[in-house]
């Protein structure tokens, strides 16, 4: 695993375990949609984007856990909001570890509902995590030299 792979993996686990009471138990395989997808772009010491995507059922379970609700009682309009916050928090954790002392501005998350085929796949680094409730995909691109390149160079 590259350094960035490990960073993304450990950051995702930390966020999921502490605010979503969910574990990531190894690599997963994406199934059919629809998906909730949230992307955040960041600028500052480095520019780039971070994207998360989860099937609707997984997103609902994550929202329920985050809010302290059951899957049945979670308000549906809160689900995309929570996925957006997951992307936002994860982005902050990742950037803090990429460059301690760096200065970043994270834009508000852009959340959408889409099918599996249209999920962002052009991000340089991408991992799919197996959760108890389904899968979570996390993608990251960090601009190194002004052009969007892989974190490996």
Question: Which residues bind to other proteins, rule: CB under 8 A?
Answer: 10, 13-15, 17-19, 21-23, 25, 63, 65-70, 78, 81-82, 84-85, 88-93, 95-96, 100-106, 108, 132
Q: How far apart are CA 13 and CA 149, in angstroms?
A: 25
Preceding amide of 34 cis, omega within 30: yes
CB 128 within 8 A of CB 29: yes
Rounded least distance, CB 49 to other proteins, Å:
15
Least spacing, CB of residue 106 vs other proteins, in Å: 5
Q: Please identify, using beta-carbon distances, which residue of 113 and 149 lies nearer to other proteins.
A: 113
Residue with Cβ nearer other proteins (32 or 100):
100
Gap between the Cα atoms of 55 and 111, Å rounded: 13
- 92/149 with CB nearer other proteins: 92
Least spacing, CB of residue 97 vs other proteins, in Å: 9
Taking the least distance from each CB to other proteins, the nearer of 103 and 121 is: 103
For residue 135, give both structure tokens: 């899968």
The answer to whether 134 and 54 are in contact (CB under 8 A) is yes
β-pairing verdict for 134-143 and 110-114: unpaired
Nearest distance, CB of residue 94 and other proteins, angstroms: 9
Minimum Å distance from CB 121 to other proteins?
25
Q: Which of 76, 79, 90, 95 is nearest to 19 (CA)?
A: 90
């Amino acid at each position: 695993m590259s350094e960035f792979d490990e960073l993304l993996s450990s950051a995702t686990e930390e966020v999921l375990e502490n605010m979503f009471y969910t574990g990531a138990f190894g690599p997963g395989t994406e199934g059919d949609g629809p998906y909730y997808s949230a992307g955040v772009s960041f600028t500052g010491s480095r520019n780039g984007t971070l994207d998360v995507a989860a099937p609707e059922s997984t997103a609902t379970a994550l929202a329920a856990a985050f809010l302290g609700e059951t899957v049945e009682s979670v308000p549906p309009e809160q689900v995309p909001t929570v996925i957006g916050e997951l992307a936002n928090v994860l982005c902050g954790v990742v950037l803090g570890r990429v460059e301690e002392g760096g200065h970043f501005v994270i834009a508000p998350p852009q959340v959408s509902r889409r099918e599996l085929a249209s999920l962002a796949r052009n991000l340089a680094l991408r991992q799919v995590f197996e959760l108890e409730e389904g899968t979570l995909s996390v993608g990251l691109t960090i601009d190194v030299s002004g052009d969007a390149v892989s974190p490996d160079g």
